[in-house]
Amino acid sequence: MTGPPEGAAGGMGEFALIGRLRRKLAASAGPDIVVGNGDDAAVVEAGEGRCWVMTCDVQVQGVHFPEGASGISVGQKALAVNASDVAAMGGTPRYALISLGVRADTPVAFLDEVYEGINARAGRWGVAVLGGNVSRTEGPFFIDIFMVGTVERDRLLLRSGARLGDQILVTGFLGDAAAGLHLLGHPEAKVRDEARTALIYAQLRPTARVEEGKAVAALKKATAMMDLSDGLAGDLGHLCEASGVGAVVWEQELPISPAALELAAAARLRPEEWALYGGEDYQLLLTAPVEAVPALQKAVREAGALPLTPIGEIVPAGQGMRLKRGEDLLPLRAGGWDHLKDK
Amino acid sequence: MTGPPEGAAGGMGEFALIGRLRRKLAASAGPDIVVGNGDDAAVVEAGEGRCWVMTCDVQVQGVHFPEGASGISVGQKALAVNASDVAAMGGTPRYALISLGVRADTPVAFLDEVYEGINARAGRWGVAVLGGNVSRTEGPFFIDIFMVGTVERDRLLLRSGARLGDQILVTGFLGDAAAGLHLLGHPEAKVRDEARTALIYAQLRPTARVEEGKAVAALKKATAMMDLSDGLAGDLGHLCEASGVGAVVWEQELPISPAALELAAAARLRPEEWALYGGEDYQLLLTAPVEAVPALQKAVREAGALPLTPIGEIVPAGQGMRLKRGEDLLPLRAGGWDHLKDK
């Protein structure tokens, strides 16, 4: 394979391309615009101390989910990844619109399932699905969901608020989705059925930390928040850049599930790699002063029975991003998934 | 070609499929939801007598625009078709998010142009483009835009308000976009350069009747409104169904541009066919009592120098949709474009 021709999008990484296109946007300033480009979602003032949070995310067959994924998984995931962006701002997901790109040979039964998956997640979070549109495509099936949420202005959490000395925290486990992807590619790996199911579902049917995000926002003690879609190292890099800070991640504190540990042992892989660089966990990454951590942990546990684990601390920007392994401080590359770049 | 396999989406028309998927949606009722599915856009209450209008529309290369269309045309059209949906409710387009499906071999220069086209239209209407996302695809390039607008609750215009005896009116000319499509397929047709340019631009770079829609809504005299995206016959059918009425269209009153007349004469075609069944004109279709028509015509002319032409009247539902040609009343089939169905 010779790679894309010169000047083609495939020659740029996803983040480079997004950065380029973002710079192409006319500056969107206005008294009503709280957050334009560059966070998990856009935020505008809606009056009465309330903001509207808006986001969209497209999922393409063969890129974001495998050809064989069930319609239910596809629908659930498509709704969840958008709800996750709203949750990452501390918001409540409210309304969704759906665009579908449908092939002539797409089974109608698959589309029915996609809507079942959407409805299952929407019902759980109280999201009203208000329509959308369908187009024919000769390429792979795709689904693009647009979600609007609401958040009180004084509970809004951005990527840009992290402060020196803050602890870095994550909800739930990291790396399960990447472990599930590994398992899809290596079905012969020897793990118990419960672990197999848990990891593959983490990859194909991720959920969103909606209740946890709202609980964190309601406490008004966190300084920054985002969701983990591209992998901890990459996403933390975005948070540090937006906040103008650096970070140290404590490798031995990374919360890794028993299922991922089991697979890693069977496959002789380091599960920390999944936790650091695997994408699509859709957990929440937040920062907060040390003294606020116990109250945040209690709030997250009560909201969704999930752990909230301190995994590092915010340091001056000049120190960059580093990984503490034992007594060593290693450079932490801000890699992460890149759906666009030719591999 | 044997057609799509049994149970495949290609075996259903676009409207049948949309209807099926709409019924799959969990009922989205709530005190805040003014319009769920089934109009040009969804509408929710935003407090203080104001509503938010939300819509999305995906454009796929090779389906909604030809392979050779410039990025500027693609960007302009993508923004315009969404603004048209907001305008059709009497709303003001405010915010947009953009999802792109990009091939590895898509030229970056093409993407730059798409954003130039988006910015040109957004700037004209004061729309803030607040970001979006980019995905890789191996299929045709696509662009999906989500747009949010606002409208005062008491100015909101739906498809469902047409009443017996109302006149049926349209802004601008009908059939130019279809004439442009014909011209793209038959470039040898002998028409003057100005006519050629006007018709091809109507197809590739339609605009939206934003100012006209706001002017109509501000007058509070129209009873129903929608935009013309699928062709007059099809769209009027949707309006009649939503309003529980029938319609008579006066063929000789259809406003057809000099350019379309010129091409029709050269190609020996009836331009009324383009006006009735050609899609993508993105003009506004509205109904109003006869006595309100002069004031509406004045308002539309002042907003955008466009004519507002009476083209028929609302009749009882039992009479269905008919076309008055001379002294004859012919059945008017609610056809229109269907992007999905195999042709």
DSSP secondary structure of A236-287: HHHHHHHHT-EEEEEGGG----HHHHHHHHHHT--HHHHHHH------EEEE
Query: What are the distances in angstroms from CA B342 to CA A65, B63, B166?
Result: 26, 12, 37
Average pLDDT over residues A217-233: 97
Distance (Å) from the alpha carbon of A268 to chain B's nearest alpha carbon? 31
Across the interface, whether the CB atoms of B133 and A36 are under 8 A apart is answered no
Which residue's entry shows tokens 């958008």? A82
Average pLDDT over residues A336-342: 45
Q: Which two tokens stand for residue A95?
A: 């309304």
**What is the pTM for the complete model shown?**
0.91
Average pLDDT over residues A213-228: 98
Q: Which of B220, B243, B198, B225 is nearest to B283 (CA)?
A: B225
Please tell me the predicted confidence (pLDDT) of residue A39: 81
pLDDT in tens, B201-250: 999 999 999 999 999 999 999 999 999 999 999 999 999 999 999 999 99
Instruction: Provide the b/e sequence for A62-92 (b: ≥16 CB within 10 Å).
Output: bbbbeeebbbbbbbbbbbbbbbbbbbbbbbb
- Residue B340 C-alpha from the chain's centroid: 17
The superfamily in CATH containing domain A159-331 is PurM-like C-terminal domain (3.90.650.10)
Which residues, 6 or more positions from B80, have their beta carbon under 8 angstroms from its beta carbon? B121, B205, B206, B207, B208, B282
Residues of chain A within CATH 3.90.650.10 domain(s) are 159-331
Q: Which two tokens stand for residue B118?
A: 């988006």
Average pLDDT, chain B: 92
Q: How many Cβ pairs within 8 Å bridge chains A and B?
A: 273
What's the pLDDT band for B16 if we cut at 50, 70, 90? confident
- What are the DSSP E strand ranges found in chain B? 33-35, 42-45, 50-60, 92-102, 128-136, 142-152, 167-171, 224-227, 246-250, 284-288, 308-315, 321-325, 328-331
pLDDT in tens, A8-47: 888 887 778 877 887 777 666 678 888 887 788 999 998 8
Q: Which of A205, A200, A202, A222 is nearest to A213 (CA)?
A: A222
Rounded CA gap, B124 and B119, in Å?
Answer: 8
* Residues of chain B positioned with their CB less than 8 A from the CB of A64: 135
Percentage of the residues of chain B whose pLDDT score is greater than 70: 95
Looking at this protein, which amino acid is placed at residue B199? L
Pairing of strands B128-136, B92-102: parallel
Average pLDDT over residues A240-266: 97
Q: Which two tokens stand for residue A99?
A: 């665009």
Q: Which of B111, B12, B96, B3 is nearest to B56 (CA)?
A: B96
* Residues of chain B positioned with their CB less than 8 A from the CB of A132: 56
Looking at this protein, which amino acid is placed at residue A33? I
Please tell me the predicted confidence (pLDDT) of residue A335: 61
Average pLDDT, chain A: 92
Q: How many residues does chain A have?
A: 343
Average pLDDT over residues A53-75: 93
Q: In what order do the strands lie in the sheet with B128-136?
A: B33-35, B42-45, B50-60, B142-152, B92-102, B128-136
What's the pLDDT band for A340 if we cut at 50, 70, 90? very low
Residue A343 has pLDDT above 50, yes or no: no
Please tell me the predicted confidence (pLDDT) of residue B343: 33
Across the interface, whether the CB atoms of A104 and B339 are under 8 A apart is answered no
Average pLDDT over residues A198-203: 95
Residues of chain B within CATH 3.30.1330.10 domain(s) are 9-155
Average pLDDT over residues A302-325: 96
Rounded CA gap, B58 and A137, in Å?
Answer: 10
Average pLDDT over residues A273-298: 97
Please tell me the predicted confidence (pLDDT) of residue B23: 78
What CATH architecture does domain B9-155 belong to? 2-Layer Sandwich (3.30)
Distance (Å) from the alpha carbon of A253 to chain B's nearest alpha carbon? 32
What's the pLDDT band for A152 if we cut at 50, 70, 90? very high
Distance (Å) from the alpha carbon of A103 to chain B's nearest alpha carbon? 7
Percentage of the residues of chain A whose pLDDT score is greater than 70: 95
Residue B337 has pLDDT above 60, yes or no: no
Please tell me the predicted confidence (pLDDT) of residue A124: 94
Please tell me the predicted confidence (pLDDT) of residue B298: 98
Rounded CA gap, B210 and B217, in Å?
Answer: 11
Average pLDDT over residues B101-130: 94
What's the pLDDT band for B187 if we cut at 50, 70, 90? very high
What's the pLDDT band for B22 if we cut at 50, 70, 90? confident
Across the interface, whether the CB atoms of B133 and A58 are under 8 A apart is answered yes
Mutate to test the interface with B, among A146, A227, A339 (most CBs of B within 10 A): A146
Nearest to B36 among A115, A122, A131 (CB): A131
pLDDT in tens, B23-51: 777 666 678 888 887 788 999 998 889 99
Rounded CA gap, A79 and A122, in Å?
Answer: 7
Rounded CA gap, A136 and B61, in Å?
Answer: 10
Across the interface, whether the CB atoms of A44 and B95 are under 8 A apart is answered yes
The DSSP call for residue B91 is: -
